[in-house]
Amino acid sequence: MKVELFDFHLPEELIAQTPLLERTGSRLMMLDKATGDIKHDIFKNLKDYLRAGDCLVLNDTRVLPARLLGEKEGTGAKIEVLLLKQQDGDVWETLVKPAKRIKEGTRIDFGNGILTAICVGTSEHGGRILEFQYEGIFYEVLEQLGEMPLPPYIKEQLDDRERYQTVFARERGSAAAPTAGLHFTEKLLEEIKDMGVHIAFITLHVGLGTFRPVSVEDINEHDMHAEFYQVTEGTARLLNEVRDHGGRIITVGTTSTRTLETIATEHNGRFEEGSGWTDIFIYPGYEFKAIDGMITNFHLPKSTLIMLISALAGRENVLKAYHEAVEEKYRFFSFGDAMLIL
């Protein structure tokens, strides 16, 4: 299947640069995955499309302030480091710019020596393996020195870093936010629970591999980066009960979707407690085993994310919906509007 099949025209001005003042104020497009029918609403009315016995599944990962600005020891050259994945203790896989300046044995200083790193190796895709040295607690040092790793298509500064976190974020480890969850407030979640809709949490630490461009012509040749996930015994039990009683499982975001599909694939359509690494790549032709619907933002042309929702709702339905979203001037990407697929 060719990557070009998932292309569409996206005017640059539709890429949302800042979050809305009210999280629930974003627009909501409803897409019927069976018929392709489209409706338009606003996100705070999401509960109108849910029913008692359904289950919303949210990713509770918390984004690290993973962008560090430092200097190369000896030369003072400016170095930017993006934390990707903790390997062992204080050893991290990172992206470094400019990478050519950082060879094995090179030291980098951050915050006038509050934090230092030494390059101890390279990773498969040209990244650098850094071992950090500091006093105290690493995550506290990171909160002091780090910046939010906003996607490259966002050019504006973010005044409040909590606006790139969901209100339910608690498990630290992501290099990017699970952005479909940014539309929720605690008040909306309480209203949804009061309807008799279950709320379940999983954890998937989002890596940049999720957003890595597909550089091959045939999507069958694309390799996904692995990301760490965790599903608790309580969440697994709740999801099985919802399924057994005829409720709908509706994931919030592609990360929650990939996590549940990984678990269900390994356990014949059932949910089990577990953790591990997933590199599942979902595109048209995939047979869903875990979910009935999902909430998602509007994604990049030719991305693995638009391929995933095309697997759920049909490529033609999705491209038609995206064309209408462009016509109606929906906001795209991380701080953009939302789509409900049922």
Q: What is each CA distance from 71 to 114, 131, 134, in whole angstroms?
A: 12, 15, 16
Domain borders along the chain are 3-63+160-341, 67-147
The pLDDT tens digits of the residues spanning 304-341 come to 999 999 999 999 999 999 999 999 999 999 999 999 99
In this predicted structure, the answer to whether residue 342 has a pLDDT above a threshold of 70 is yes
Mean pLDDT for the chain overall: 93
Q: What is the band of 187 on the pLDDT scale with cuts at 50, 70, 90?
A: very high
Flag the least confident range among 49-53, 121-125, 143-147.
Answer: 121-125
Architecture of domain 3-63+160-341: 3-Layer(aba) Sandwich (3.40)
Q: Judge whether 218 and 73 are in contact, CB under 8 Å.
A: no
In this predicted structure, the answer to whether residue 204 has a pLDDT above a threshold of 60 is yes
- How much is the pLDDT for 209? 60
Name the residue type at position 160.
Answer: D
Fold (topology level) of 67-147:
Thrombin, subunit H (2.40.10)
My answer on whether omega of the bond before 98 falls inside 30° of 0, hence cis, is yes
- How much is the pLDDT for 211? 53
What's the alpha-carbon Rg for the chain, to the nearest Å? 20
Question: Residue 164 contacts by C-beta under 8 Å, 6 or more apart in sequence?
Answer: 19, 63, 148, 150, 158, 177, 182, 334
- Alpha helices by DSSP H, the chain: 138-145, 186-194, 233-244, 254-266, 304-313, 315-327
- How much is the pLDDT for 226? 85
pTM: 0.90
Q: What is the mean pLDDT of residues 26-48?
A: 98
Q: Judge whether 197 and 87 are in contact, CB under 8 Å.
A: no
Q: Which two tokens stand for residue 202?
A: 């999983």
